[in-house]
Amino acid sequence: MTFRYSSLILGLCLTLFACGGDTKKSLTDYADPTIGGVSVLLETTRQTIHLPNEMLRFVPLRSSMLDDWIDDFALQMPNHRRHWVFGFMPFCTLTPESVWSAPGVCDNEETHPHYYHAQLDGVTFEFTPAKKSGIIRMTFDGEGQHPMRFRSRTPIGFYDHEGNRVVTGTAAFGRPETKENMTAYLYAEFDCDMHDIHYPGEDTKHLMLTAEDGKKVVTMRYGISYIDKEQAKDNMLREIPTFDFDRVKDEAKNTWEKRLGQIEVSGGTEAHKRTFYTALYRCSERMVDINEYGRFFSAWDRKVHEAKEPFYVDNWLWDTHIALEPLHIILNPDMEVQKINSLIEMYKESGIMPRFALTSGEWAAMTGNFAAVWMLDAWAKGLRFDLETAYEGFRKNSLERSMLPWHTGPATPLDTFYNAHGYYPALHPGEPETIPEVDPNWERRQSVSITTVNSYSDWCIAQMAKILGKADDEALFTERSKFYRNVFRTDRGMMWPKDDKGEWIEPFNPLHDGRAYFTENNAYIFNWDVKHDLEGLFSLMGGHEKAEAKLDELFHMGVGTAKFRFYNVLPDATGLMGMFQMGNEPSFHIPYIYNYVGAPWKTQKYIHSLIDTYFIDSYLGMPGDEDGGGMSAFVVFSMMGFFPVTPGTTTYAIGSPFFEKTTIHLPDGKAFTIKAKDLSAENKFIQSAKLNGKPLTEPFLTHEQLTAGGTLELKMGNKPNKETFK
């Protein structure tokens, strides 16, 4: 071999290494915002480009990842999946007036948490974010002029311009007929002069500007504010003082590398790493800090406040209390305290402890009093905040306000009945609704699940009453935490609706009867909703063996009818394994219940099957509505190898990891490592377990053990070892 060829081969090897041949990929390369971009039945995930838990969220607006038409690039998403403001689209065209309503046709997209790239017709489009601002770079290589179109994405909104480089805009979002409304402000600046600035007639909801002829690269920076246009400009100038796109991109990437690097994995497949780090990225979309450098506008009292601390908004607690908030309690406890303080501040301002704390105010969505669950979980795990004020809000929600789904307001006759009789009364099939606050057509009463979820939150309130020394309240809420027993029909072994006379509803099909009695799921899922009293539930079922048999039945039972009929009633019940529903949050803890009935190897088997079936690294890799981290947190926990079955306690149930080594880098500098020796697709069963060198005899960890740092060592094999945990 000559020196020339040996040098060539050496150079090639070095190039491959530098380009990532066998080298470690950056974590932002593993995180792919397009995963889940084609929905199974309901909502797709969105290509959301942003910084972790920060206000600015940029989204290409399209029907799904299979759609090459992008209606607009939304310069801001104020609320997860509900509102988009300030649509923007560049064009390269010979007929600028033809693009007022035209989509951008895209190809060759590249999407990372910190960076977006797409090839449009004649335009290469790039975006990267800062905290409350963003920067766009457009490279024109096609024929024609270069118009830039701004469009309103809300019914109330308009644009203006200052000179020939600056565009300002306002957009009202939320529901103007209620207090759930707010205004977003835009300040955008180009790096070159624009001309032919005009509206389509008298309509100021849309605006078009054209770049200088011959200008090949145009950069636009912009800021967003919920206070005013001047603050939007200030946000932009603080964060993006020049038009240096690459600097902003590098800083954004470094921010994401740090956040994703909180959990380090090795071993496993490349596909598993893509699934894992994409899920971890999704877990940092919400809540978002809307404090704009010392000031924030609060939708709860409609005032501008001065504050040094962050003010976090946009949380759907029905979805996120299960796994997302428990994950951040481990990884980002200081941020969790700030988020909880934000909810307490909302209560102080409005007198309502929020259920869905949107940027634009309280949204009376879904059911439950889950702020109580979240905050008890945080307190039990060592976080501290104004518990007395928080308790006041939880207590009021439980005793004085309505529990009805998709409704907010004072207690109704149904709530009065609940307080007196210990269950929400159900209607018989065909019986007309008598309570005007109930949606009679779709959401309906959801009577059984209203009873089970409030039993859980009341148990949490009882624990907080005990902490605060409120003995009478502790007794009251402890009794209320048992109300779920009033809707468990022992002769059928099922949760079952009951009318206001105390009679069981007949006929009733626990497979198919939907929102009249349950929230988005059926009796087979809400049979296991009693997270706070699993032993009491097992007793009602006849003991551990019968409870295990019922779990087995859940994972093997068919829908009992044509699928289109099933989904006509239960469209949220996606990701089926038997009657288990991977695509909806109330199911998440159920595979781990096998740990509590003495069959942990079944948890280990089903978790691997569910992840590998439903959370693949493709457009189809999300079995249901992701809900801004609600579902992704299940993936993160489960792929690490444990899960918080009962938020509000400090116990984690052990599952089966997907990586040979997982290291959680804790905020205080300690680390907790999970090692899975001999792990493979077949070797998913735990043969033996040691925690810090000592045998682990139960399939559980505590938060104290995790946060103390240490190592969990698991020996894996291809057959269940039923003697591992005794």
Task: Give yes or no for residue 138 having a pLDDT over 90.
Answer: yes
CA distance 148 to 139: 13
Angle at 402 between CA 526 and CA 363, to 5 degrees: 85
The set of residues, in sequence order, having a beta carbon less than 8 Å from that of 259 and lying 6+ positions away, is: 52, 284
Angle at 268 between CA 267 and CA 274, to 5 degrees: 115
The predicted pLDDT at position 15 comes to 35
CA distance 589 to 466: 26
Other Cβ atoms closer than 10 A to 496: 21
Beta partners for residue 580, in sequence order: 577
Which segments of 311-440 are extended strands (E)? 312-313, 315-316, 356-358, 361-362
Sign of the four-CA dihedral 67, 72, 73, 75: negative
Cα 566 to chain centroid, rounded: 26
pLDDT per residue as tens digits for the range 206-249: 999 999 878 899 999 999 999 999 999 999 999 999 999 999 99
- 420 CB-contact burial (10 Å; exposed 0-12 / middle 13-18 / buried 19+): exposed
CA distance 419 to 397: 12
Other Cβ atoms closer than 10 A to 342: 25
Cis peptide before 287 (omega within 30 of 0): yes
The predicted pLDDT at position 293 comes to 98
The predicted pLDDT at position 726 comes to 73
The predicted pLDDT at position 1 comes to 38
CA distance 518 to 506: 16
CA distance 112 to 110: 7
Average pLDDT over every residue of 540-547: 98
* Contact between 91 and 147 (Cβ < 8 Å): yes
Query: Which residue bears the tokens 């709530």?
Result: 415
The predicted pLDDT at position 180 comes to 59
**With bands split at pLDDT 50, 70 and 90, how would you rate the model's confidence at 3?**
very low
Average pLDDT over every residue of 439-455: 97
Task: Give yes or no for residue 177 having a pLDDT over 50.
Answer: yes
Percent with pLDDT over 90 in the chain: 93
* Contact between 631 and 579 (Cβ < 8 Å): no
Domains of the chain, CATH where assigned = 46-260 (2.70.98.10), 265-717 (1.20.1610.10)
* Contact between 87 and 61 (Cβ < 8 Å): yes
Percent with pLDDT over 70 in the chain: 96
- 484 CB-contact burial (10 Å; exposed 0-12 / middle 13-18 / buried 19+): buried
Average pLDDT over every residue of 652-679: 98
Beta partners for residue 85, in sequence order: 76
Structure tokens, 687: 């043969």
Average pLDDT over every residue of 439-461: 97
Task: Give yes or no for residue 179 having a pLDDT over 70.
Answer: no
Angle at 568 between CA 443 and CA 586, to 5 degrees: 60
The predicted pLDDT at position 11 comes to 38
Beta partners for residue 579, in sequence order: none
CA distance 79 to 88: 18
pLDDT per residue as tens digits for the range 338-352: 999 999 999 999 999
Beta partners for residue 161, in sequence order: 167
Task: Give yes or no for residue 168 having a pLDDT over 90.
Answer: yes
Cis peptide before 507 (omega within 30 of 0): yes
CA distance 696 to 420: 45
CA distance 225 to 171: 11
Average pLDDT over every residue of 520-547: 98
Concatenate the DSSP letters of all residues of 645-703 into one string. SSBTBSEEEE---SSSEEEEE-TTS-EEEEEEET--SS--EEEEEEETTEE--SSEEEH
The predicted pLDDT at position 176 comes to 56
Phi, psi values for residue 471, rounded to 5°: -65, -40
pLDDT per residue as tens digits for the range 355-366: 999 999 999 999
Residue whose C-alpha is closest to residue 224's, from 65, 366, 76: 76
Q: Where are the alpha helices (DSSP H) in 83-217?
A: none
Task: Give yes or no for residue 7 having a pLDDT over 70.
Answer: no
pLDDT per residue as tens digits for the range 18-28: 333 445 789 99
**With bands split at pLDDT 50, 70 and 90, how would you rate the model's confidence at 106?**
very high
CA distance 442 to 420: 27
DSSP-assigned letter for residue 208:
E
Average pLDDT of the chain is 94
Average pLDDT over every residue of 374-403: 98
**With bands split at pLDDT 50, 70 and 90, how would you rate the model's confidence at 181?**
confident
**With bands split at pLDDT 50, 70 and 90, how would you rate the model's confidence at 586?**
very high
For the chain, the farthest-separated pair of C-alpha atoms sits apart, in whole angstroms, at 95
CA distances from 148 to 27, 191, 212 (A): 34, 13, 11
Phi, psi values for residue 622, rounded to 5°: -145, 115
Q: Which amino acid is at 142?
A: G
The predicted pLDDT at position 562 comes to 94
The predicted pLDDT at position 513 comes to 86
The predicted pLDDT at position 328 comes to 98
CA distance 378 to 694: 28
Residue whose C-alpha is closest to residue 367's, from 328, 420, 407: 407
Concatenate the DSSP letters of all residues of 259-326 into one string. HHTTEEEESS-HHHHHHHHHHHHHTTSSSEE---SSEEEETTTTEEEE-SS--EE-EEHHHHTTTHHH
Query: Which residue bears the tokens 């956040």?
Result: 259
CA distance 104 to 283: 29
Concatenate the DSSP letters of all residues of 430-475 into one string. TPPP--TTS-TTTT---HHHHHHHHHHHHHHHHHHHHHTT-HHHHH
* Contact between 402 and 415 (Cβ < 8 Å): yes
The predicted pLDDT at position 25 comes to 86
Average pLDDT over every residue of 591-601: 98
Average pLDDT over every residue of 7-34: 60
Helix, strand or coil for residue 712? strand
